[in-house]
Structure 1
Amino acid sequence: MERIIYKSDALITPKHLAEVFQASGIKRPADDLDRLQRMLEHANILITAWDQELLVGVARGLTDFSYCCYLSDLAVDQAYQHRGIGKQLIEEVKQQINEQVALILLSAPNAMDYYPKVGFNQIDNGFIIKRSK
């Protein structure tokens, strides 16, 4: 029986991150390891989910630990989805930031139904300047 372990102190490589992005189906620049390295270096929250030595999920965010946290990535290997791993990754992030911090994210269109199931409320007062690349 599998037992998923969650870590907040695991150092992962851009290759590891690319592999979980690809396995999850999330749209990220998985072929740009330099960019993934910068994504890892500048995040100040990284929670990982492991099935023994296999990285199966990641939650990556940016926060001031006081007012808000942007959850920029929530990715779970498709072979491990529907087992509560994404929900637990979110819970682990919430434990890191505490209840005074708002947790905010942008959802992929195909995940819009997922986030209300794990405690998020949809908001209509957001704006975006999209990246050019």
Structure 2
Amino acid sequence: MYQYFNGLIIREGTVGIPADQVEALFKDAGWVRDTPDWQKEKFTLIFNNSTWAFTVWDQEHMIGMVRGISDQIMAANIMDLNVSSRYRGQGIGQKLVELCVQKLPHGDWFAHTSADNFPFYEKCGFEVRDLSENGTCSYYGYIEARKSGHRRTGRKG
């Protein structure tokens, strides 16, 4: 499935997403630096193991993406919402969130993000709660892996 949005194409699907284009978006967002060659497949595998995904294309360049992980009944999580810095402010991110929510309109949606993104998610209809009373517990396995030496950082591989 695909649709047009402001002269761009939005594709739905979790298969065939080019790892190099995902990595480029992650670099643009500051989420990764130098990924060792042996880890590059993760940029494709994250989509293969997602419930839903939408990518945004300007010609042959992927300029936006979002993944959804869900039980498809009650709850879903927005993962890796990312729009290239050159294309931000054009409503692309909001459109991607809207497409996700349409997949499970009566379910509970969650977005794990930093506080500077809270106003964006509020514009998309999400509620930012007082975390002193109600919050999300997190375990960051990738940080633990880095501490224990199981994950390389910044090395060419």
Aligned length: 130
Alignment of 1:1-133 (within 5 A): 3-9=7-13, 11-23=16-28, 25-28=29-32, 31=35, 32-97=39-104, 99-123=105-129, 124=131, 125=134, 126-131=136-141, 132-133=144-145
In the TM superposition, structure 1's runs of 4+ consecutive aligned residues that sit over 3 Å from their partners are none
Q: Deviations over 1:109-129 (max 9, x none)?
A: 432332112211113322111
The answer to whether the 8 Å contact 2:27/2:33 transfers is: no
Secondary structure of 1:58's aligned partner: strand
Structure number with bigger Rg: 2
Give ranges in structure 1 of 5+ residues lacking alignment: none
Q: CA deviation at 1:62?
A: 0.6
Identity among equivalent positions (%) equals 21
Q: CA RMSD in A?
A: 2.0
Give ranges in structure 2 of 5+ residues lacking alignment: 1-5, 146-157
Whole-angstrom distance in 1 between the partners of 2:20 and 2:67 = 15
Q: CA deviation at 1:78?
A: 0.2
Return the TM-score normalized by structure 2.
0.73
Return the TM-score normalized by structure 1.
0.85
